[in-house]
Copies of this chain bind each other. A is one copy, B any other.
């Protein structure tokens, strides 16, 4: 259209640096990649040329040549709302980025639809765009992610559904044990009508926590039928609480499988005139910031979310380096007694 007088500031290439330093491309490539096979003088000349030209290697060319992208994907099969709404994800991401910072890898966040990764997301993950992936919040419909491991290494945050089908590597806590901790605490408080608000049945962690609750109750000879399902959100927790209250107005305790759901339950209980913890004791799970931001300081099962994120990253990086690493890492939980139970 218009006459362009602007010099098309093309990014300098290896070639240009080589010319400027008076050496071959191979040599420049060596210094860029930190090879020790370079004489001090040449090193200096090349380094200064790089500085002078402000050279940055072209990632596409590099990837094409050595088949590494130096990128890893963080896949969260949840909608944006839930991703941002639950502090758990922030903590995990914080842990991941903290270890990636010290590496040459960059993180690509991929929010996918639960149990139905988009065509686009699948192509992205399979199209050689990342060297590995971390999948947090796996749902049972997501077969794609468990089989993805055949193409690139993937580490799950939380034991994925059907690991027997495709043995996946993951970092998790012993969810059943954590739930048992919470339930025993409630029993120790003398409660007898102990309900639970479970997470979605298509998530392994939700199932495990549910079983931890029911097994503990049965061992104690208590009824384990008072269960409702939430979706790990505050709203879902409130909804489930209403249902439980209707079914059993006399309930005196509830174990919610997440702090957010516990918060929702607390609101409903109070609005229904129950004092917490006097009338109804509530225990959450996560010990995320959400445990402290609600109407009452939540008693909850602590899981080291940030550290778990860091472990996921470390595990993936180790596999990327070709090291033999354990397929799973289980982190400890503990009960944090505060005001709600």
On whether the beta carbons of B106 and A120 are closer than 8 Å, the reply is: yes
On whether the beta carbons of B90 and A57 are closer than 8 Å, the reply is: no
Q: Which of A1-57 contact B (CB under 8 A)?
A: 9, 11, 56-57
Does A115 lie at the interface of the complex (its beta carbon under 8 Å from any beta carbon of B)?
no
Report how far A199 CA is from B97 CA in the complex, Å.
27
A90 CB, min distance to chain B CBs, angstroms: 4
- Flag the segment in A121-129, A183-191, A221-229 that touches B: A121-129
- Nearest B residue to A54 via CB reads B126
On whether the beta carbons of A126 and B58 are closer than 8 Å, the reply is: no
- Flag the segment in A81-89, A162-170, A200-208 that touches B: A81-89
On whether the beta carbons of B84 and A80 are closer than 8 Å, the reply is: no
Which of B9, B56, B57, B58 is in CB contact (< 8 Å) with A64? Answer: B58
Does A140 lie at the interface of the complex (its beta carbon under 8 Å from any beta carbon of B)?
no
Does A108 lie at the interface of the complex (its beta carbon under 8 Å from any beta carbon of B)?
yes
Interface centre among A56, A118, A124, A150 (most CB of B within 10 A): A56
Q: Which residues of B contact A59 (CB under 8 A)?
A: 60, 127-129
Does A328 lie at the interface of the complex (its beta carbon under 8 Å from any beta carbon of B)?
no
Q: Which residues of B contact A192 (CB under 8 A)?
A: none
Known contacts A84-B84, A84-B90; decide if A124 and B97 are in contact (CB<8 Å): no
Does A266 lie at the interface of the complex (its beta carbon under 8 Å from any beta carbon of B)?
no
A121 CB, min distance to chain B CBs, angstroms: 9
On whether the beta carbons of B81 and A94 are closer than 8 Å, the reply is: yes
22 pairs across A/B with beta carbons < 8 Å? Answer: A9-B150, A9-B151, A11-B126, A56-B123, A57-B127, A58-B64, A59-B60, A60-B61, A60-B64, A60-B128, A64-B64, A80-B93, A80-B94, A80-B97, A83-B90, A84-B87, A84-B90, A85-B90, A106-B124, A106-B129, A107-B109, A108-B109
Supply 15 further A-B pairs (C-beta < 8 A) apart from A60-B64, A80-B90, A108-B108. A9-B150, A9-B151, A11-B126, A56-B127, A59-B127, A59-B128, A60-B128, A61-B64, A83-B90, A84-B89, A101-B118, A106-B110, A107-B109, A108-B109, A109-B109
Q: Which residues of A contact B (CB under 8 A)?
A: 9, 11, 56-61, 63-64, 69, 80-81, 83-85, 87, 89-90, 93-94, 97, 101, 106-111, 118, 120, 123-124, 126-129, 150-151
| 3 nearest A-B residue pairs (beta carbon) | A84-B90, A60-B63, A60-B64
